[in-house]
Structure 1
Amino acid sequence: MASRILHRLRHVLAGEGERDGLAGCSSEAEEFPESSELEDDTEGLSTRLSGTLSFTSNEEEEEEEDTSEARGEQGESLEPGLLGETTENGEDSPPSTERRGSNLLTRQLQELWRKSRGSFVPQRLLFEVTSANVVNERNSKYVLYTIYLIRAGQFDKAPATIARRYSDFERLNRRLRRHFGSDMAGVSFPQKRLRRNFTAETIAKRSRAFEQFLSHLHSLPEIRRSADYLEFFFLNDLQGAQRLTCSGVYHQALAVWTNSQRLQEKLGACHSGHFLLTLAGLAVCQQELEQLGEAHASCEQALWLLEAQDRHPLLAPFLQAYIHLSWMLGRDKRQAEARLQALQEAGEVGLLLPTLKELLIKQALP
């Protein structure tokens, strides 16, 4: 009987040894997979990630560093046993402990996300030269570069465009270096050439250089908020739209006003006098073209921006236009009428108000 028991015990021990050996082999196989699964795909990755170069702003880099530091501090503050504990017998703790740790981590991530939502992140833009055409005029020849401004990281349904020549870029570069010498120290600009300015190679190199030039400028907070930088994009549009509106060419003027609005929205310049003038131009052209709903919306947006500015010269004309459009569309106009009456009683405006169109024609642009 004893010999039989010893014989069975040897078989059991031998079987466990074989299973342990097989388990060890399988773990090694999982730890060291086939070499084909570890092949370097760097070249393919570079191909997939290749595209237009864009720069992020300094503020975004600082925010990313702050977020990573916050994550590190919170990771160190976690108690060692929250993400995995063992009992005295070496067995895993009950699943409730794991859930407690994961719930705590989730709450911390949610708190970080709530904090990041409240922080200001500047609009990231791509600047893409989509075409470059050689223009021959009577006494000059130059290349006109068409540039699209597109929101990065998402599909942009309404990109804005500008058309600029080398001299426009050079003027912007000169002004910014005069006003922001330290910030512009690291910004490169394509130099003039004495010849071969109109070859395909030169035009292609300058196109890429202008994209990077504008992207780098947009990454610098002080520069992207400056008047020189902003007016480079939309001042020409405003001047052209104003001339077209005064000439009564409302369809063409509306297209230019609309592009100017998109430019200012993408550049974050929606709280300036230029943007209010743009809304006035939109409202005038839309009303002349009998697009009453769109004109009403333009006036409503302007009044929202002028909510705390009772002495702005455009306030009363916008109120007057809004009241008239609300009457034509059958919409509530009592609040606007009360505000206009209060301005008149306070002596802020007279009884005879200039219309938006009159102010638009008289407005002098630099």
Structure 2
Amino acid sequence: MAAGERPSCSSLTTKELQQNLKLAKQNERPVRLLFEIPSSRVVDQLLNKYVVRQSVETYNRWNFSNCVHVLPLQAYQIVVMRSGSFDSCRVSIERRYSDFRKLHNKLLEEFEEELEDVLLPPKLLTGNFSPENILERRLALQDYLAKLFATRCVRHSAHFSEFFTEHEQKQAHVLLRAGQFKAALGELQTVLEIQEKLLPWQKSTLTVPALSAIAVCYRDLDEPEQAFSAAQRALPPVRRYGLKPYRAALLELLVDLGYQLGRPVAQLQDELTAIRNGERGEVCFRSLKEVVIHKFI
């Protein structure tokens, strides 16, 4: 062997291979998810007076029908990022304490025993929004999310991922139905980035609705390259996991865009024809836009 030349794997002894493997493992940094709540803000929620506990006599004595009660609430910024690898994309969302409470109640219904030692921090009393209390609450909620993610059954639960994406996804589809495609894209990109961080081993199925909606937005914004790219990313998991509502719609969009862009689409066209011939009379074919909107009606 020439001087300075590294030995091939075939020339290494078993002991040397084991040592190399050990070194490689030592150099690896485990990748895990981090949640940071760097800030919060007070938002005012307007409530009708009768929503606040009032006796019937008091309500009848005073006409509160046109009055409102301003209830200050804390909205927490949550930053999601992955550690152990270079992650230049720090995605942030905003959630209120009531959102944490809803998540906790849903998880308790499924995993009460597993969450016996995972407690949701108590709610701050109205008006008790001193900087010290707010900081303590932010750190407590941050720790709460970390403990949830460390619990395997919770990490794989749909409720956990929906906590981080459902609000943005619904808002995106409201905007999409209103024809505000650029605004919808901003929400959908946030959804997609968070989904890819939360459960990368399951992202192939989780991201299909977001990718499909992104393709629809780009199509209606007359940006065929981006629309084709998003639809192309969504198609493999749709094929692999048999997500029927999306398959024909994605293929139809890809064929139309492919002709427009001068891409080879013969195989896609054959696949679409085979699906339509095989399921004729059994399936009502929708456009991808119809599929996307129907999911969130």
Q: Pick one of 136, 145, 149 that aligns with 1:214.
A: 145
1:228 paired to 2:136: no
1:260 paired to 2:191: yes
Q: Which residue of 2 aligns with 1:291?
A: 223
Q: Pick one of 281, 298, 322 that aligns with 2:254.
A: 322
Output aligned runs, 1:232-311, within 5 Å: 232-268=163-199, 269-272=202-205, 275-309=207-241
Structure showing the higher helix proportion among its residues:
1
Q: Is the 8 A contact 2:238 2:247 kept in 1?
A: yes
Structure 1 position 349, deviation (Å):
7.1
Q: Is the 8 A contact 1:245 1:253 kept in 2?
A: yes
The sequence identity of aligned pairs, in percent, is 29
Structure 1 position 336, deviation (Å):
0.7
Q: Give the whole-Å Cα distance in 1 for the aligned partners of 2:108 and 2:242.
A: 38
1:108 paired to 2:39: no
Q: Is the 8 A contact 2:31 2:84 kept in 1?
A: no
Cα RMSD of the aligned pairs, angstroms, is 2.6
Q: Which residue of 1 aligns with 2:265?
A: 333
Q: Which residue of 2 aligns with 1:65?
A: none
Q: Which residue of 2 aligns with 1:128?
A: 36
Structure 1 position 292, deviation (Å):
1.9
SS in 2 for 1:354: coil
SS in 1 for 2:46: coil
Q: Which residue of 2 aligns with 1:176?
A: 107
TM-score computed with the length of structure 2 as normaliser: 0.79
Q: Give the 3 Å change call, closer, same or farther, for CA 212–134 of structure 1 in structure 2.
A: same
Q: Give the 3 Å change call, closer, same or farther, for CA 131–114 of structure 1 in structure 2.
A: closer
1:149 paired to 2:59: no
Matched residue type, 1:128: E
Q: Which residue of 2 aligns with 1:363?
A: 295
**What does the per-residue CA deviation read over 1:97-121, in whole Å, with 9 as the maximum and x for residues that have no partner?**
xxxxx954331134568999xxxx9
1:202 paired to 2:110: no
Structure 1 position 347, deviation (Å):
2.2
SS in 1 for 2:16: helix
Structure 1 position 220, deviation (Å):
1.0
Structure 1 position 286, deviation (Å):
1.3
Structure 1 position 357, deviation (Å):
1.2
Q: Give the whole-Å Cα distance in 2 for the aligned partners of 1:287 and 1:224.
A: 34
SS in 2 for 1:314: helix
Q: Give the 3 Å change call, closer, same or farther, for CA 340–217 of structure 1 in structure 2.
A: same
Q: Is the 8 A contact 1:233 1:263 kept in 2?
A: yes
1:159 paired to 2:105: no
Structure 1 position 270, deviation (Å):
1.7
Structure showing the higher strand proportion among its residues:
2
Q: Which residue of 1 aligns with 2:45?
A: 137
Name the larger-Rg structure.
1
SS in 2 for 1:154: coil
